[in-house]
Amino acid sequence: MSQATVYATSQFGLASDTTATGLFVGTVTFSNSSETATAPDHIGCDVGLAIYNPKKDISVDGIVAAKGTNIPANIGSTITLANTAYNTRTRLAEQISGTHSSAIIVTGGETSGTATGFETGSITGIYHPFVPATSTVLT
């Protein structure tokens, strides 16, 4: 939980998990998308629509949690964000229908350090709700 005193009803901050490994997440972004196919009639007007292959692109930025450990997220591995479900929201399932049993599949990442700050890292990934996967926990 955030240490801030908040004077608003809007959501502020991210949930935390003291058992986290990898990153202490400062920013997380979920971008929803899908593919569509149309069925035209005899004069070319669309009379049917199929929406399929729902997915979410995820971007996570934060501070590397433990000195000397880097972030345990190789490309192709899977992760779970500990703070994707709180305040009665399940962010991975939002705007995607059906039963979900998958994890975020890592598609990229980077780390950077500076002489005057903490080591930071970022991970990009994709969530396909019907692709099952096991995962490692990050916050």
Query: What is the per-residue pLDDT across 24-47, written as a single tens digit (0 to 9) for each?
Result: 888 888 899 999 999 999 999 999
Domain assignment of residue 32, given as a range: 23-138
Would you place residue 118 in the very low, low, confident or very high pLDDT band (cuts 50, 70, 90)? confident
Q: Is the residue at 10 inside a domain?
A: no
User: At which residue do the structure tokens 């240490």 appear?
Assistant: 3
CA 92 to each of CA 29, 30, 103, 116, 130: distance values in angstroms, whole numbers, following the listed order: 11, 8, 9, 35, 12
Q: Are 25 and 61 in contact (CB under 8 A)?
A: yes
Least confident of 27-31, 70-74, 81-85, 130-134: 81-85
Residue at 119: amino acid letter: E
Q: Using the predicted structure, report yes or no on whether residue 5 has a pLDDT greater than 80.
A: no
Q: Is the residue at 27 inside a domain?
A: yes
Q: Is the residue at 79 inside a domain?
A: yes
Highest mean pLDDT among 71-75, 89-93, 128-132: 128-132
Q: Is the residue at 2 inside a domain?
A: no
Q: Is the residue at 9 inside a domain?
A: no
Q: Is the residue at 13 inside a domain?
A: no
Q: pLDDT: is 80 or 109 the higher one?
A: 109
Residue at 125: amino acid letter: G
Would you place residue 18 in the very low, low, confident or very high pLDDT band (cuts 50, 70, 90)? low
Q: How many domains does the chain have?
A: 1
